[in-house]
Amino acid sequence: MTERTNVVVVGGGPGGVLLAYLLARAGVRVVLLEARKDFDRRFRGDSVAPPVLDYLHRFGLAEELLATIPHGRATTFEWWTPEKRYTIADYRGSSPRFPYYALIPQARFLPFLVEKAQRHSGFRVEMGARFSALLHDGAGRVDGVRYRRDGVEHELRADLVVGADGRNSKVLRESDLTPAELASNIDICWFAVPRLPDDPSGAGQLALITEPGAVVGLLGQGDTWQIGFTLPAGRFGALRDAGVEPLKDLVRRRTPWLGARVAELREPGQLTLLPIRITEVDRWSRPGLLLVGDAAHVISPVGGNGINFAMIDAAEAANLLVEPLLRGDARAIDAAASGVQRSRGALVAGEQRMQVRVERGVARRLAERSPGAPLPIRVQGSVPGLARFSARRSLRALRVPPPSQAILGRSSTVD
Ligand SMILES: Cc1cc2nc3c(=O)[nH]c(=O)nc-3n(C[C@H](O)[C@H](O)[C@H](O)COP(=O)(O)OP(=O)(O)OC[C@H]3O[C@@H](n4cnc5c(N)ncnc54)[C@H](O)[C@@H]3O)c2cc1C
């Protein structure tokens, strides 16, 4: 028998989980389909920005999240040359409550949000449920999904299908919407080592370490340090030939407190390769279907905002969609779904343009083995007040619309 619900969200990443939570909170019946059987993922966008923490605070979630899940707090973003450390963004004036990026593993953050969603009677999550096809009604409007779970095919009809299934979105591939690649200049290889109680805290949780021929990202999370080695796109083969000793030497030289721990890196196969491809989709919606997060626009790790853009898409989508979904008005649902791109498209495109510029610059630095920091970074890191200004400017792209009364005010809580 084919089941029917208000909304099917495909993909339990930050965008899909937050959207499902917000809709369920407002009394919408929502089924979240996640292909994996758990949320145990490493090396994802883990940096939750001050405006997103402020947004979660409105639901009483931010404080509990920060009190219960080990995380790092990055009050600054720094650029370290061999000679000098420049603070290029200073978030300390950005929010009265949360003047920092919280570096929280998605593996802990997502189950936390799902548990909150489960308190609402309209929410259901299906883990290990892999979306395979879109269903259409007689007029060609998307009308549900087909998915496979434990070897069994299911059909689920819905007033709206949301594709939140990330950078390789199957929902996008199954639709008639078209993606375009904007850039692919660099790849990043990630490695993680444990964090110990005596490690540096405060400044330096989020840093870019540079020297001729190397650009390395450093992220201090709750119980690990993530180290990201940047390569020109497609050069992982060369790294494999060169081996990991040059990378380990760099870490020992530049972050001596990690020296002994990096011995755990013995061969390139231990690195997790993330090819950085920035893409956008011409239209994020069509009748009965909406794409959010990386499914609609792949944000690169430059700036660490993929998680934030996905969650802000969810916040905007929930505001626009709740009322039409509760009324079950297909025409109004489609109008609201197309409004998400109208509200978010320009901010996303602006971020992607900045990322393309930065990535080209990084690729050039790697190829030319440039020493030191480029002039704008030296100026930004030396003139008092500029780092705070730069933080405020970059956070403008992360404005989160306040939740509508329909989401804040209703309670469909079951406990
Ligand atoms: C391997 C990897 C490493 C990354 N590293 C970084 C980083 O270091 N820094 C950074 O800022 N950003 C990084 N990102 C990007 C960042 O994680 C994303 O921008 C952010 O998570 C986007 O959230 P999302 O909700 O749109 O999609 P995602 O977080 O990608 O979530 C999509 C979800 O959909 C599920 N899914 C996929 N296909 C199906 C299907 N057919 N049926 C059902 N479910 C499906 C997936 O299992 C996943 O849980 C990385 C992304 C990836 C994939």
Query: By mean pLDDT, which of 3-7, 19-23, 277-281, 283-287 is the weakest?
Result: 277-281
Average pLDDT, the chain: 93
Helix (H, G, I), strand (E, B) or coil at 99: coil
Higher-scoring residue by pLDDT: 211, 146? 146
Distance from the alpha carbon of residue 180 to the mean position of ligand 1, in angstroms: 18
Q: Which of the listed residues 18, 39, 44 should we mutate to test ligand 1's pocket, taking the one with most ligand atoms within 8 A of CB? A: 44
Q: Which residues line ligand 1 (CB under 6 A)?
A: 10-16, 33-36, 43-45, 130-131, 164-167, 170, 274, 293-295, 299, 301, 304, 306-307, 310
Q: Which atom of ligand 1 is nearest to the CA of 219?
A: 8
Closest by CA to 303, choosing from 395, 372, 382, is: 395
389-400 per-position pLDDT tens digit: 999 999 999 999
Q: How far is the CA of 13 from the centre of ligand 1 (A)?
A: 6
Nearest to 86 by CA among 380, 405, 311, 388: 380
pLDDT in tens, 62-77: 999 999 999 999 999 9
pLDDT digits (tens, 9 = 90+) for 264-320: 999 999 999 998 889 999 999 999 999 999 999 998 888 889 999 999 999 999 999
CA gap 108, 284 in Å, rounded: 29
Encode pLDDT of 233-255 as tens digits: 888 998 889 999 999 999 999 99
Question: Exposure of 200 by Cβ count < 10 A (0-12 exposed, 13-18 middle, 19+ buried)?
Answer: exposed
Which tokens sit at 66? Answer: 């920060």
pLDDT at 415 over 80: no
To test the pocket of ligand 1, the residue of 174, 278, 307 to mutate (highest count of ligand atoms within 8 Å of its CB) is: 307
Residue closest via CA to ligand 1's atom 26 equals 293
